[in-house]
Amino acid sequence: MQKRTAIRLSGLGAMAGAVLWALGDVLLVGGAARVEAYPLLLRDYAPRIPFGALPLMLGLGEGRLAAGALIPNFAVPLYLLGSWHLWQGLRPAGGWLPGLAFALMLCGNAISPLGHAAFYYPAMVYALIPEVPVAAHGALLDLGARFDGMVRIAWLAAVLTVGAGVLLSSVVIARGGTAYPRKAALILNPLVPLLVAGALMAVLPAPLSNWVYAGVLNVGFFVLYAVSTRLLWNQSR
């Protein structure tokens, strides 16, 4: 009974974590700046700015960007619980694959705060450019580009590691023997939850569609954890 309660609570906690991470995404990259509002950055200096998220962040304000960067960092323990929750569903299959899937998800979630919060720094650097003398623009453009390189490494490392863990989990489920029905592999994988989120983007009006776009990965994880929690609700193995 205690383990069943832990599995339920960890699934609900992971769902809450997905909501908080999606909120952080919306606060951090949920804008839609127009070129005419920021011609210097989005037109004149565009060839020198590799940071693709900049149009989604300009004009949002430092306080909002800081909140968007920090909220998911404090919520990451909930995603670590989610990794444990999924592992409980995989463990009955036995062998080393469930453990590897768990390790990938756990490690990917553990390193994800840097990949998320790092978006804040190049955005703040680039936003400063119109406020300083032209002579300083080149140095700030170079600094922003270096920050962008750090963002790419940190973000891709986290996303690819978690994605590999979830993909491996779906393979384990499809092979059978887990606490999930084998057909659950059609939903508990990296692709289908993202397709659900993509469908929401297509039907929702702005700015809601922009917000779903910003938080698409975590909307997908909410779907994944919601389905898993429902399937494991009465499991005790």
pLDDT at residue 209, as a whole number: 80
Query: What is the crossing angle of helices 62-90 and 137-175, to 10°?
Result: 20
Q: Can you give the pLDDT at residue 1?
A: 63
* pLDDT confidence band for 121 (50 / 70 / 90): very high
> What's the rounded mean pLDDT across residues 85-91?
96
CA atoms within 13 Å, Cβ hemisphere of 46: 9
Give the torsion sign (CA, 13, 19, 24, 29): positive
Q: Is the pLDDT of residue 237 over 60?
A: no
Work out the pLDDT band at 194, boundaries 50, 70, 90.
confident
- Helix ranges (H only) for the chain are 2-29, 39, 62-90, 97-117, 120-128, 137-175, 191-203, 208-214, 216-232
In which band, very low, low, confident or very high, does the pLDDT at 236 lie, cut at 50, 70 and 90? low
pLDDT tens digits, one per residue of 12-71: 999 999 999 999 999 999 999 999 999 999 999 999 999 999 999 999 999 999 999 999
- What pLDDT does 118 receive? 96
The lowest-confidence range among 16-30, 75-89, 199-213 is 199-213
